[in-house]
Structure 1
Amino acid sequence: MAEWTDGTWVTLISLTVTFLFMLGVPVLLVISYWIIGCSFVLGLTLDNMGAELLNVFNKGFALLAMPLFILTGDLINKSGIARRLSDFAYSCLGWLRGGLAMAAIGACGLFAAISGSNSATTATIGSMLHPEMVKGGYDERFSAATAAAGGTVGIIIPPSIIFIVYGFLMNLPISDLFVAGILPGALMVFGMQFACWLICRANGWGYLIPIQLNRILKTAFGAWLGFFAIGLVLWGIYTGKFSPTEAAGVTVGFCIIAGILSYYATKFLHVDNTQALEQKSFASMFVVEGFNVGDIPSIVIRSAQITGILAPLIAVSVVMQQILSLLGAQEVIGGFLTAMGGYYAVLFTAMIIVFISGMILESLPVTIILAPILAPIAASVGVDPIHFAVIFLVGASIGFITPPYGLNLYVASGVTGVQYFRILRYIFPYLIALISVWIFVALVPSTALSLLPNR
């Protein structure tokens, strides 16, 4: 009878916090309320909760890369490097129908290769290119949906904040996870660009510009700082010269130096970088707008605010996962998956669980709660741990544009001014493209493993 009473209380607490979540209570508070309630039911003291929260960060050296990559994203946005990357993408794709929208997706991929954040990618590219797309004749709803969809690659193309969290939780080499995300991230970009092209071709959206080699070369030279930052991260991690945390620190240092030097160089050379594509001067191709020393505190504070949201969420989600283990959730889900049968049955059932969870939760709690449960079961039927990590996180990234949660949809709505529900009409073609790529990655392990040494 006691077990039934405990189960009843846990169900009641779960329904209550679900209702609070639907009312708009922040996820951090929802999970915290659930932990506190279940702790009382299980007879655990709040001292245990406090000790576990502290223990997460005492063991989390790898998590230091997270605030550094968030800071990197803010630095490249403030310095103007992100604008140069988008200019390059447009010069390559502007000759196609829907080229500017496709360039926005490509720019998301380039920005993601430095920042590692989905929300930062959506906010940066959306705020820069949404007005340009609307001026170019694109539907504002489609433009906002494109920014939201493009942001999904923010956590797949390395460096990736969520790969850092996954590697920390599952004791996997973060550098291997980063490398494994390169090809799947590229496939996501190409898949969304193809869907974008089909939509724009059907609607006749976008003005075509002739493809010009000198324009491509000029914008490529103009984006050299961004390419150097991307190459620095990938080279350091792939060759083993840097750990992910060290790579994040090196990239932050590079962006600060590049931003400050560019700022003072533009003043000295009298370069106006407000319209990078139209610049005639040779110097404008090699320096960006940059920022002065006085701008750094405000940039750091903004990054710290985002970190202050994510870090507590990681901690409480780890404690939540521990309580779920005490409640027997791992055994229940494990038994359900094992009953499915062999390799593909377990794999696709796990994918369905991740997809459904991503519809109602952010990728961070989905990863922290489900990865320790699903990954060992997948490994038991022969799924490579690195391959499953990529499958898991590609699925979690799709959750950024799946209602009712869809974090990127809210971010895109905020930066573009287009209402959340109006964006949904044009998000479904991107969902189909991403799900198709997800299934392909699951069926073809080499998409994740081929770039890894000794695989």
Structure 2
Amino acid sequence: MTDGTWITLISIAVTILFMLGTPVLLIIFYWVVGCSFVMGLTLDNTGSEMLNVFKDGFALLAMPLFILTGDLINKSGIAKRLSDFAYSCLGWMRGGLAMAAIGACGLFAAISGSNSATTATIGSMLHPEMVKGGYDERFSAATAAAGGTVGIIIPPSIIFIVYGFLMNLPISDLFIAGLVPGTLMVMAMMIACFIICYRNNWGFLITLNPWRVFKTAVGAWLGFFAIGLVLWGIYTGKFSPTEAAGVTVGFCIIVGCISYPLNKIMRNDPSVPVDEKSLSSMVVVEGFTPLEVPSIVVRSAQITGILAPLIAVSVVMQQILSLLGAQEVIGGFVTSMGGYYPVLFTAMAIVFVAGMILESLPVTIILAPILAPIAHSVGVDPIQFAVIFLVGASIGFITPPYGLNLYVASGVTGVPYFRLLRYATMYLVSLVFVWLCVALFPSLSKTLLPGGGIFEFLSGMGAG
């Protein structure tokens, strides 16, 4: 048989394995090893190429650190405080608790940078409360899944780090470019959430109480500080994204370890007045002991241990596809569309279809090096295309048949996967609308960048 026949058979075999539920990492690895043998490439070559990904990838060090940050803020109770603040602001509207879950996803994403961590954390915390509040359990789980999509768009973002590493783009610029689109995604999902809840009369309303808003805001101050610390450091150039991740991890560990004994002392000391104990519970989060830190690190390492090999083996897969001429085939097809918008929308369609069957990481590693240069050749700004590409990849998290966030939400809530699809559709429509807006209006991605609209406005103010 010819090499082409062997590669076709290998591709069919791994597709069958994928349909049977084999992990994506093993699917790509089997395909890479099989194609390497067919093409005469040694396993030594595969191993060295995988090692080189991390040997030269300083930017990738931010990935495990931001994963650890997400686990630390969840364990310390900061994530719960952010959720309480979101509910105090939105609970007076129909569907307020569900919208608060989406808002909490946005706030959590601004610290963790992970879609699955965002879905799992917010879903496990707020799904039981939503069900108690009269929401349909399928809708509640779908809301957590949809809210988690902003985990890779609102900075810091693990996938932006990977994209910047692959395409040699400034990761800090990518982070800043994701702010406005990520915020629009949250707002669009909140609108969709309100419409669904209003039509079904779901949710109990609470009075908008300024004191409660202030109280929960004070209680969440550590979360706001962590968000501000990351954005300030990256935006002003005080430290790189990798350094920002390290600083945030250090901050969260210090806060968690200090808060635990403070809480214990304040709550158990009979000499402390009740009003001071109440103030302490507002300001000081639950925290954790130093002995718990290793277990938190181990949990984060387990997630990193899944993602890191996937990045490495996907890079090798990209090289094999290049040798097979896949880049030329896909590139030729996209280029044949001709013109700015035909090429852009064709690239978006390819990303959308790929996101339906693959996780965002392999989609990014395989397709970004092919599509980004073509988009740039017709005049699409590289930073804008990065945001367009990754917003499209994030939509794949709630798009069947793969829909990673749907699986995560199903796992943490106990609602079967296929029962979530009905209510995920409305959120999917709202996200596609934002995606099109990001593609049609470049200013949405570039406004906050140096030379963007806000900077030009402020410069004009200073000149005046």
In the TM superposition, what whole-angstrom CA distance separates every residue of 1:313-343 from its partner, at most 9, and x where no partner exists? Answer: 0000000000000000110011101110100
Deviation string 1:143-188 (CA, Å, 9 cap, x unpaired) is 0000000000000000000000000000000000000000000000
1:236 and 1:23 map into 2 onto residues whose CA distance is 45
CA distance in 1, matches of 2:303, 2:268: 33
What CA distance in whole angstroms lies between the structure 1 residues aligned with 2:211 and 2:22? 52
Conserved? CA contact 1:271–1:284, under 8 Å: no
Please state how far the C-alpha of 1:285 moved relative to its aligned partner. 1.1
Q: Choose which of 120, 123, 141 in structure 1 pairs with 2:120.
A: 123
Q: Residue 266 of structure 2 contacts residue 277 of structure 2 at CA under 8 Å; is this kept in 1?
A: no
Letter in 2 for 1:374: L
| Aligned residue identity for 1:86 | S
Hey, what's the Cα distance between the residues in 1 that align with 2:451 and 2:425? 38
Specify the alignment match of 2:13 in structure 1. Answer: 16
Distance 1:374 1:67 in 2: 27
Q: CA deviation at 1:271?
A: 7.3
The answer as to 2:235 corresponding to 1:252 is no
Structure 1 partner of 2:66: 69
Q: 1:160 aligns with which of 157, 160, 178?
A: 157
Residue 454 of structure 1 deviates from its aligned partner by 2.5
Cα distance in 2 between the residues matched to 1:409 and 1:283: 38
The structure 2 residue matched to 1:213, chosen from 210, 217, 242, is 210
Are residues 1:187 and 2:184 paired? yes
Q: For 1:377 and 1:15, how far apart are their aligned partners in 2? A: 29
**Aligned equivalents of 2:441, 2:4: Cα separation in 1:** 41
Rounded to whole Å, the distance in 2 between the matches of 1:365 and 1:238 is: 28
Alignment map for 1:340-379 (pairs within 5 Å): 340-379=337-376
Instruction: Please point out which of 45, 48, 52 is paired with 1:48.
Output: 45
Alignment of 1:214-253 (within 5 A): 214-253=211-250
Answering whether residue 94 of structure 2 is matched by residue 81 of structure 1, we say no
Separation in 2 of the partners of 1:54 and 1:219?
46
User: Does structure 1 residue 97 correspond to structure 2 residue 103?
Assistant: no
Letter in 2 for 1:264: P
Deviating 4+ runs (over 4 angstroms) = none
Deviations 1:68-111 (A, max 9, x none): 00000000000000000000000000000000000000000000
SS at match of 1:427: helix
Residue 313 of structure 2 aligns with an amino acid whose one-letter code is V
Partner of 1:289: 286
Q: Identity across aligned pairs (percent)?
A: 81
Q: Distance in 2 between matches of 1:346 and 1:37?
A: 33
1:271–1:283 CA contact under 8 A, matched in 2: no
CA shift at 1:412, angstroms?
A: 0.3
Deviations 1:359-391 (A, max 9, x none): 000000000000000000000000000000000
Contact 1:35/1:320, CA 8 A, preserved across alignment = yes
1:113 aligns with 2:101: no
Q: State whether structure 2 residue 30 is matched by structure 1 residue 30.
A: no
Give 1:7 shift.
Answer: 1.7
Deviation at 1:279, TM superposition (A): 11
Match of 1:275 in 2: none
Q: Aligned in 2, Cα 1:208/1:343: closer, same or farther, shift over 3 Å?
A: same
The structural deviation recorded for 1:12 is 1.2
2:353 is the alignment partner of 1:336: no
**1:38-73 CA distance string (max 9 Å, x none):** 112211111110110111111111000000000000
Amino acid in structure 1 at the alignment position of 2:335: T
The residue identity in structure 2 corresponding to 1:148 is A
CA distance in structure 2 between the partners assigned to 1:444 and 1:10 by the alignment: 41
For residues 15 and 398 of structure 2, what CA distance do their matches in structure 1 show? 20
The answer (yes or no) to whether the contact 1:97–1:206 under 8 Å persists in 2 is: yes
Residue 95 of structure 1 aligns to a residue whose secondary structure is coil
Query: Do 2:356 and 2:403's aligned partners in 1 also have CA atoms closer than 8 Å?
Result: yes
For 1:12, the aligned partner's letter is L
Q: Secondary structure at the match of 2:343?
A: helix
Alignment match, 2:461: none
Asked if 1:60 is matched to 2:57, the reply is yes
Residue identity in the other structure for 2:54:
F
Structure 2 counterpart of 1:414:
411
Confirm or deny: 8 A CA contact 2:145 2:405 kept in the other structure. Answer: yes
User: 2:82·2:107 contact (CA, 8 Å) conserved in 1?
Assistant: yes
Contact 2:352 2:392 in 1 (8 A): yes
* SS across alignment from 1:282: helix
**8 Å Cα contact 2:112-2:156 kept in structure 1:** yes
| Aligned partner (choices 420, 429, 434) of residue 432 of structure 1 | 429
- Name structure 2 gaps, 5 residues minimum: 270-274, 453-464
Q: How many residues are treated as equivalent by the alignment?
A: 447
Q: What is the letter of the counterpart of residue 124 of structure 1?
A: T
Task: Say which SS state the counterpart of residue 281 (structure 1) adopts.
Answer: helix
Partner of 2:313: 316
How big is the alpha-carbon RMSD for the aligned residues of Structure 1 and Structure 2? 1.3
Aligned residue in 2 for 1:392: 389
How many Å separate the matches in 2 of 1:184 and 1:347? Answer: 17
Aligned to 1:265: 262
- The normalised TM-score by structure 1 is 0.97
Q: TM-score, normalised by structure 2?
A: 0.95
C-alpha separation in 2, matches of 1:182 and 1:271: 43
SS of corresponding position for 1:56: helix
